Amino acid sequence: MKVNSNSLIKNWVFSTLRSNVIKNIFSLYIIHFANYLLPLIVVPYLVRVLSPSGFGIVSFAQSLIAYLTIFVDYGFALSATRKISVYRNNKIEVSRIFFNVLAAKGFLGLIGFIVLLLLTSLIPQFKEISTLLIILYGTIVGNILFPIWLFQGLEKMVFISVINLTTKILMVMGIFLFVKSSQDYLLYAIILSVSSMFAGFIGIILALWRFKIDFTMPSLQGIWKELKDGWILFLSMASVSLYTAGNPLILGLLTNNHTIVGYYSAAERIVKAILGLLGPISQAVYPRFSKMAAESKDLALQWGKRMLVLMGGIGFFLSFVIFLSSPLIVRLILGSDYIPSIAVMQILAWLCFLIAVSNVLGIQIMLPFGRDKAFTSIIFGAGVINVILAVLLVPTWYELGMALSVLISELFVTAAMFIYLTLNQLNPLKTIAKEVKQ
């Protein structure tokens, strides 16, 4: 009997629709709304109250904290999620992974704080905002405590979506109540840190209660294994930060002008919030895609092709809309003080299309098929390209030079992944439907 692979895919998709994947996508959209869109509601208020210079100071500080967050988060967002997904039915193994990862993140968090103290002591640009940086480190404490990787691996995202939404609503209320002038940026930082730590405490308590995780004493061997398993992925995430999270930091160090940082950061924040609309789909299908890739290469690639068309189409639409509406968006959301942000936003708009495509090629295909090293090499190459281009372009073009550096770097990522997958017979667009004999 012959079974067309397309029918198999349709059956798989229909079963997926009835499974936890759709629930998780919905939950992740709530988390996205809480993490990106809800804070975006206060952006028009913040950019006006803090002014371009004040907003630039905060963005500069947050960019350094973002680097340290990536260091503390390591590669656990992917490596721990993948492990939990594989061992989800083994309570003992899940408990062991949980406490070893938590201990590893705590250890990295301590190192990160020591690094922060050294930076604020040695570098003048960090020393003058040392209080702000130390307060914002509370967001990293919240990150350490919040085991989102556990919930993702178990495909149980509903609970933390509620936590995220609740804490972010409280955060927004706090900003409107207490941040009243450009001198209140420290209050803004306190509100961010307190809300993050609160979410972290609730998240870890819920994880222990809901999944009945038994306490397992972390071992040095276990912690080392988690660090080793996440090393390659950490390098890729750190490389990504060279052309994503760290751009306001790079721009600030090269120009020493917080107003320019404010112009760039305001545009970037809006584009990232819109770009994040694609994130929940990718996050929700990653554990399932990892499992499917291990069982059937052909099925995984054919489903990957459909994901590529879907995500690429949505990404291009978002890019086109942002590009055309940037003047209106900037005037409505940011105000007349941020007119230089229009051109920045028009350049960054095309990240939506490029990242939508590279996410499918990298996260949904390369990683599930074990191409971690190639993935990391590509991302690292893009990070180096971004820094080099920034050094060359920013002194002349300022915020526009930074935006161009990011766009070119992301174009390199997408092209390099496409070429690599083609050379290794993993390009989903080259997949030819095959009949499967039963």
pLDDT in tens, the chain (438 residues): 444 545 544 454 445 444 556 666 666 666 666 666 666 788 889 999 998 989 999 999 999 999 999 999 888 888 888 888 887 778 888 888 889 999 999 999 999 999 999 999 999 999 999 999 999 999 999 999 999 888 878 877 777 778 888 888 899 999 999 999 888 999 999 999 999 999 999 989 888 888 888 888 988 998 998 898 888 878 877 877 777 778 999 999 999 899 999 999 999 989 988 887 777 677 667 666 666 766 667 777 777 788 888 889 999 999 999 999 999 999 999 999 999 999 999 999 999 999 999 998 988 888 888 888 898 899 889 989 999 999 999 999 999 999 999 999 999 999 999 999 989 888 787 754 443 334
Quote the pLDDT of residue 17.
43
How deeply is 35 buried, as exposed, middle or buried, from its count of CB atoms within 10 A (0-12, 13-18, 19+)?
middle
Q: Is the pTM of this model over 0.85?
A: no
Between strands 2-4 and 435-437, the pairing is: antiparallel
Q: Of the candidates 403, 405, 404, which has an alpha carbon nearest to the alpha carbon of residue 385?
A: 405
**pLDDT tens for residues 346-392?**
999 999 999 999 998 988 888 888 888 898 899 889 989 999 999 99
Q: Which two tokens mark 312? A: 């690429």
CB 75 within 8 A of CB 234: yes
- Residue 345 three-state SS: helix
Closest CA to 71 of 106, 104, 101, 108: 108
Residue 416: alpha-carbon gap to chain centroid: 20
Sorted by where each begins, the domain ranges of the chain are 2-437
What pLDDT does 201 receive? 93
The answer for residues whose C-beta is within 8 angstroms of residue 242's C-beta and 6 or more apart is: 382, 383, 384, 386, 387
Residues 270-316 have pLDDT tens digits of 998 888 777 767 766 766 666 676 666 777 777 778 888 888 999 99
Contact 63, 348 (CB under 8 A): no
Task: Choose among 59, 21, 15: nearest CA to 252.
Answer: 59
Instruction: Write down the pLDDT at residue 25.
Output: 64
What pLDDT is recorded for position 295?
Answer: 66
User: Tokens 């086109």 map to which residue?
Assistant: 320
Q: Provide the 8-state DSSP code for 19.
A: S
